[in-house]
Amino acid sequence: MAIRLFIDGAAGTTGLEIRERLAGRDEFALILLDDSQRKDETARRDALHAADIAILCLPDEAAKEAVRLAQGSGTRIIDASSAHRVAEGWTYGFPELIGRETIAAAQFVSNPGCYPTGFLGLVAPLVRAGLLPADWPYTVNAVSGYSGGGNTLIERFESDPDIAFRAYGLSMGHKHLPEMRKFAGLAHPPVFSPAVVPAFRGMLVDVPLPLAAIPGAGRVGKMRECLAEFAANGPLVTFAEAGSTEELLHRDEGSADDTMSLHLYANADETQVRLIARLDNLGKGASGAAIQNLNIMCGLPETTGLRLRASGSA
């Protein structure tokens, strides 16, 4: 019998990409609302109660409302918003970090943010292994395609070709910080410097490390081993050896990618390091992660329906 699936917010960017990844899959029977019902509370409640699993692709407050509407139903929920990422009773949906068994058994799963996916993939394994201290004041520099900002930002970039770079989060209170701190096990939130560039999708997350100044930091070789081991814990994360490359390119190719590549670059005497993650903000950073979690929760092969383009390619 097909699993009944409702996508609340199916008309948004994340919802549409989830629908694309579900195309042709007979494991699921989609519960669909027409345009006149999408914001109707009764129709949404009925759909949420009829579903075996619901995926929320909504703004934070609307996601909280959806959870309220689903109360008493027993419906399992994947929330792609930031509303429940550090909330009590919710499982953080980063399988490589949290564990697939934990996600498989969960009723409520919160998708990670796109930037935190890159940051945590780089930093959390090293902190867990004792190769980086939990109390260091980390810095994160990151650039993303404009699709991560939703329809409003998409329209702004596509209507104004003169925008070359958008720095934001200047009040230092970005909503991704709590999950970065919690799931990396840090004593302090990192200093986060996000920016948007005129590419539709994709992102680079860069964590610079002055190793010579960090008390208790491990050696570069051990860090490489740790990240390689973390990446080997599943099919969607890779660790790319730096080699002799002098650049890491982001190309606006337009095609979806549900993988993430991790990179470590060090200077000659290994006193300075840059950790860099490359991923698709709409893939492993959003819709791809939701499908990965959906597959795991339903006992299906983890990569079914996912876009597995080689993330480490230039």
Comma-separated ranges of CATH 3.30.360.10 domains in the chain: 114-283
CA 149-154-160 angle, to 5 degrees, is 125
The reported pLDDT for the residue numbered 313 is: 41
The reported pLDDT for the residue numbered 309 is: 73
10-residue block means of pLDDT along the chain (314 residues)?
A: 95 95 96 90 97 97 98 97 98 98 98 98 98 98 92 92 92 94 98 95 97 96 97 95 68 85 95 96 97 98 89 40
What is the residue type of 8?
D
The reported pLDDT for the residue numbered 20 is: 96
Contacts of 308 (CB under 8 A, 6+ apart): 235, 236, 257, 258, 259
In contact, 224 and 159? CB cutoff 8 Å: no
Q: Which of 57, 114, 226, 298 is catalytic?
A: 114
* Helical spans, DSSP H, in the chain: 13-22, 41-50, 60-69, 95-98, 100-104, 114-128, 150-159, 177-184, 220-231, 288-297
The reported pLDDT for the residue numbered 12 is: 92
- 57 assigned to active site: no
Structure token digits, residue 130: 């004792």
CATH class label, 3-112+287-297:
alpha beta
CATH class label, 114-283:
alpha beta
The reported pLDDT for the residue numbered 117 is: 98
Contacts of 184 (CB under 8 A, 6+ apart): 119, 120, 123, 124, 127, 134
